[in-house]
Structure 1
């Protein structure tokens, strides 16, 4: 895992097409902005985990 330090107003570019910018730091929370082409899906990690758990539950219920 690459770990970077960024200040408010600074950004990181991924694969030359996705920009992640630090918009604000409020206590222990960081507000980020993400610019990406429309075909790139952006989802919070906890939502992916929740979706995967739902799929597992559905598979278990179906059997």
Structure 2
């Protein structure tokens, strides 16, 4: 089961993919600074999942 579809046209611009990866990591740092470690780990895991699918395994059909 896929949670996101990397081949969708929404994810084509590079800036959008990087922004979607950065937001959960920023939120994880906010949660960590407030002492909510469980939520920080959860947000970081979401960021890692997005990074894996949208940055590390990105296969572009056309030039970005």
- Shorter-chain-normalised TM-score: which range? 0.3 to 0.5
Q: TM-score scaled to structure 2, two decimals?
A: 0.33
Q: TM-score scaled to structure 1, two decimals?
A: 0.33
Greater Rg by CA = 1
Greater strand proportion: 1
Greater helix proportion: 2
Structure of higher RCO (CA pairs closer than 8 Å, 6+ residues apart):
2
